[in-house]
Amino acid sequence: MIKPMPTECLQEIFEHLQDDECTLFSVLQVNRFWCKNVVPILWRKPFELCSKKGGSPNLVETLISCMDIEARNRLKRDCKPLKKKISRSPPSFNYSSYLRKLTTSDLWESVLLWVSYKKSCDNIRPYARTLSPEQKMIACVIKELGLLFNKNCPKFDQLIFNTDHDELIGFYLLHCLPHIREFNYSGWGNKERNFDAASKSRNCRNLKKLVVEKISTEPKQIGRGLKYGGNAKFDYNERYTRRHFSSLFNNVVVSSYTNLIDDGSENDLINSSLDPFSIGGGVHHSSTSRVVEKPKSERELLLNLIKVQRRLEHIKIFFSDLNLEFFLSIQTQSRTLSCIRGTRIPSKDLSSIIKNSGKSMNTIYLNCQQDIDLPILHSIAEYCYNLQELELYLDRKDLLICFTTLNNLNTLKRLRIYGGGFWDCGGIDYRGSIDKPSKSLPKVAKILPTSLRWLSFPRGWVFSFRSVEEFLKNCKVQLQRLELRYRMPNHEKMGNNNYA
């Protein structure tokens, strides 16, 4: 009789199939034991999987069935216009406890589908001029889902902001989702309120990875059609622009929510009301008085978020115009910083970061469209003892100097060089000098770091066939992948080969 496969082996197989949803759905039907092991994998990112299939209201309905009686009663109270009843049947699994990844756009669309289904209508306007009943219901459902995840998700990791929808859901997610490890904020727009909420939330104090795109140094002072410190007036053109280019909840917040940030009282969050008349640019202490705060820029609020971190290891900032003060402040995180991806970072600031975090740094991406300064290369070679991956933009005249400087990096495994230009194939350049990258290639082979396994040259650099042959003869390093372009001896054909 054949012995059954050990449980550990089955679980390992299922883990390797985590991105193959079709196979996992088939595995569900084999037997009860396999089903118990596959369900947690499928429910790690249910909103993403559901959106790939076109979306369904059943996902939110299933999660609501995981709520306790009190939470369902609150939904009934806040969602009275719903025509169809909220499910009461208990689920077969505690699905909400398996969540690990959440994307705001997928969450929004799923809840919107559920509200549309329950109201038996398809004409919900998520961008109404005022806080419509439908928007209130969507916010209430997201609030209850956030509280559900807070109680039942011990392994939640990744929160991705990539939507321009309702301004209220960001607050609920940042204060309800437990132990956020990766915070990813993409998309154009005003990020002030979400950065402010994240920096004050206890759930965002132990981030390991922070990814932010398109940061501005100026306060936008834009809310839900509101100017900072003004009255609740709606401007169609401004709202239309914000609909396409801004992020989650901008400069808009219900006044009673702001007071919840510091004390973190869950009961207050549960009982908070959605009062559209309390929406404004400042913090309201009462219905008659207003304390107007000076608006802060995205850079300042992002800086506050970085300062409160304890275990930050990975920072990526794209399309930034950040200054020296900002990057010097990152030194507070330098003991654990392991990866930095930078565009338009001043050389002095970058050298300072590398110097202070060199021991823990293992990945550096500097593939911005500007030549790397040689002092930065020397800083990398001197301080980054454990560097494994490096990407940089290099002028062809500095090719030999680059490899000479990096020769002593015995841990470097992957090096990718960016460059380009019409004259990189050799010949007379715009300065009137002759410089061919093919001359340096055979010499580079003799000074490669011994640990290097992956080497990629720019597509704009075209080497001669003879120089590639000499490079391969001189190379004593066991490269697993080599990417370059070369010209055949007859000068009629051009090769683009990866040597393995």
pLDDT over 80 at 458, yes or no:
yes
CA-nearest of 261, 116, 253, 244 to 203 is: 261
Residues 399, 281: Cα–Cα separation, whole Å: 53
> What are residue 102's phi and psi, to 5 degrees?
-140, 130
- Contact (Cβ atoms closer than 8 angstroms) between residue 426 and residue 386: no
Would you place residue 265 in the very low, low, confident or very high pLDDT band (cuts 50, 70, 90)? very low
The amino acid that residue 203 corresponds to is N
Over residues 192-227, the pLDDT tens digits come to 777 777 777 777 777 877 777 765 555 544 333 323
Phi, psi angle pair for 205, to nearest 5°: -90, -15
Distances from the Cα of 363 to the Cα of 23, 237, 265, 340, 413, angstroms = 34, 43, 39, 7, 10
pLDDT of the residue at 345: 60
Give me the sign of the Cα torsion angle 160, 190, 342, 314: negative
List the domain boundaries for the chain.
1-42, 58-298
pLDDT single digits (tens) 423-457: 434 443 444 333 467 788 888 888 899 899 999 98
Which ranges in 120-259 belong to alpha helices (H)? 133-152, 169-176, 192-200, 236-245, 255-258
Which tokens hold the place of 453?
Answer: 């396994």
pTM of the complete model: 0.59
The residue that leads in pLDDT, 431 or 87, is 87
What percent of the chain lies above the pLDDT cut of 70? 59
Q: Which of 356, 307, 346, 302 minimizes the C-alpha distance to 324?
A: 346
Are 390 and 380 within 8 A, CB to CB?
Answer: yes
Measured CA to CA, the distance from residue 239 to residue 299 in angstroms comes to 23
For 40, the token pair is: 């947690």
What H or E segment, with its residue span, contains residue 263? helix 260-263
352 and 376 Cβ atoms separated by less than 8 Å = no
Give the phi and the psi of residue 49 in degrees, each rounded to 5: -65, -40
pLDDT of residue 97: 84
Among 274, 276, 278, which Cα is nearest to 79's?
274
**If we measure between CA atoms, which residue out of 203, 99, 202 comes closest to residue 154?**
99
Residue in this structure with the two tokens 């109201």, named with its chain if needed: 119
Residue 310 half-sphere exposure, CB side, CA atoms within 13 Å? 8
- DSSP letter, residue 204: G
Predicted local confidence at residue 392, as pLDDT: 84
CB 202 within 8 A of CB 264: yes
Strand pairing category for 363-366 and 339-341: parallel
